[in-house]
Amino acid sequence: MVSMHYDPEAAAQESYILCADCGTVIPASNGSGLCVGCLRNTVDITEGIPKEAILNFCRGCERFLSPPQNWVHAQPESRELLAICLKKISRPLQKVRLIDASFIWTEPHSRRIKIKVTVQKEVLANTVLQQTFELMLVVHTGQCPSCTRLAAKNTWKASVQVRQKVTHKRTFLWLEQLILKHNAHKDTININEKRDGLDFFYSERNSAIKMCDFLASVVPVRIKGSEQLISSDTHSNTSNYKFTYSVEIVPVCKDDLVAIPKSLARSWGNISPLTICSRIGNTIHLLDPMTLQQTDVTSPLYWRQPFEPLASVTDLVEFIVLDVEISGPVRGKWVLADAQVTRASGSGGKATDDDGMGGDDGIYHTRTHLGAILQPGDTVLGYHLTNANFNNNEFEALDQGRIPDVILVRKTYPNRRKKSKARNWKLRSIAKEAEDVGEGGGNVVGRGALGRRGGVDQKNVERDYELFLRDLEEDKEMRAAVNLYKVEKKTEDGDIDMGKSKPGSGMAGGKRRGGQKKAQQDTQMDTEMEVEEDAGHEGDDESGTEEEDFPEIEMDELLEHFEEMGMDDELEGGSEVL
């Protein structure tokens, strides 16, 4: 016997009604009383949503305009392009729920983009209607603001003019490496070399201000800003300006001999007026080599009463250490000592010595701050002040009886850089050296961001670059602030060997095409420079004896080549050095 049970819920689910318009049987749960077809004919949820729109495209940079005013790169039928297209109808879409959107294939040359869009909306109580429509966008070509300025030769809005009134380029070679390490040039659109410095150009004012802040954080500078009116609109009360920031670096560099006014010396801890610059950071570090007393001069203090250096590194003279005796206190890495030195054969200074007075055979007694690293027989660079003649009022005001004959500055390693010695490291450069060409179409030889245009003396740039590389080799603290990279050497079977390169490979690399010819030119120039410098050392040991205490560059200090290539690729689309 089978018993039947009545289920009211099941009976309700099986109940049907007729559509009020066409009489089609529909479930009774449909609150609208209409079938889907009649409901769509009655209610259009896409009403108010435009079915056509305009998409702006720049032919110059191949970017699309993304509302409100952003120009972005987007590949055909990509998610980025789909988002740009949907932004064109973003406000009407807020009234419905977006379910799906996809591209419909169109001819690439038709300048038409079609998108299939599916939306939902609740039209009545417990009644949700889903509908699909096509959105067609017509691509209009034009120019973005950047390409417009480029076509009008108005490519920059702000510039930073960095200047230093010195006779060498060591400061700018150092700045280039700091800029590369901190990626401070990422917003730069162009870099021009000038007689006393570099010009950085930017498309936005904020980028130029960031560059000024970076320079002020690494070197003592004085910044002045100016603006030039380009155009103005009296109706909307808007104006277009070009901004220029003049950044002047203090003319005092590392290892310079400085004579400061006595009034400033007393106010700065009663330091001796005759000092040397031991280091340059965001302040000037002055050191008295006779007492190890130090003082830091900030940029505002310097520009309040500026002073010029007496002599620079080009005036340094080579001395041979005869004897060293530690006789004073120790302050950090400096150790006070008494030293006996004599002039090295073949050495000469520009303005700080007189070969007719004193001679090369004289023995000079002096105090030095290099007691921790000097040994008898070492070679040291210093300023020869015997019978020196400086056109400086502060130096003439000093007590002539208390001026030492010699002021030693730093230890040097003359046997280290021989023709047979090759560097196994190199530096990056802002420039793309392999493809830098001059106006006449020929290769332009340069070092880093320097030595290309602006009328600079190429031979002096080569000299400054070689001295800069030697400074990095001999000063561990100095090279710790920059990035050094391993040199790639290709073997006969095509493999890459991270070993030594040809002399002159310390130059930074960019694109690799034409690099072999460039390396040959650099090798020839470096060889000529080393031949000139080694001419006075013909009597040295031919076996190439090296200094045992030379601060070697360890392999863990060098970065891999692939890191450099990754940054170079990014740089190729950014700034260019002219």
pLDDT per residue as tens digits for the range 396-407? 888 888 889 999
pLDDT for the residue 41: 73
Average pLDDT over residues 113-132: 83
DSSP tag of 443: B
Going by their DSSP bridges, the two strands 558-559 and 484-486 should be labelled as: parallel
Task: Check whether 574 has a pLDDT greater than 50.
Answer: no
Cis peptide bond upstream of 68, omega within 30: yes
Task: Check whether 140 has a pLDDT greater than 70.
Answer: yes
Task: Check whether 1 has a pLDDT greater than 50.
Answer: no
| Mean pLDDT estimate for the chain | 76
pLDDT per residue as tens digits for the range 447-480? 556 654 434 556 677 788 888 888 888 888 888 8
**What is the DSSP annotation of 457-473?**
-HHHHHHHHHHHHHHHH
pLDDT for the residue 398: 85
pLDDT for the residue 486: 83
Of residues 556 and 297, more confidence is placed in 297
**Residue 167 pLDDT grade (very low, low, confident, very high; cuts 50, 70, 90):** confident
Task: Check whether 158 has a pLDDT greater than 80.
Answer: yes
Task: Check whether 215 has a pLDDT greater than 50.
Answer: yes
* Closest C-alpha to 163, from 280, 248, 228, 69: 248
Measured CA distances, 42 to 21, 27, 125, 406, 550 (Å):
10, 19, 16, 102, 90
Q: pTM, whole model, 2 decimals?
A: 0.64
State the CB neighbour count (10 A cutoff) for residue 291. 15
**Residue 512 pLDDT grade (very low, low, confident, very high; cuts 50, 70, 90):** very low
Going by their DSSP bridges, the two strands 317-331 and 309-311 should be labelled as: unpaired
pLDDT for the residue 233: 83
DSSP tag of 455: S
pLDDT for the residue 341: 92
Average pLDDT over residues 338-358: 62
Of residues 156 and 550, more confidence is placed in 156
Cα dihedral value 214, 215, 218, 219, nearest 10: -160
Of residues 521 and 366, more confidence is placed in 366
Lowest mean pLDDT among 20-34, 169-183, 276-290: 20-34
pLDDT for the residue 517: 43
pLDDT per residue as tens digits for the range 222-246? 999 999 998 888 888 888 889 999 9
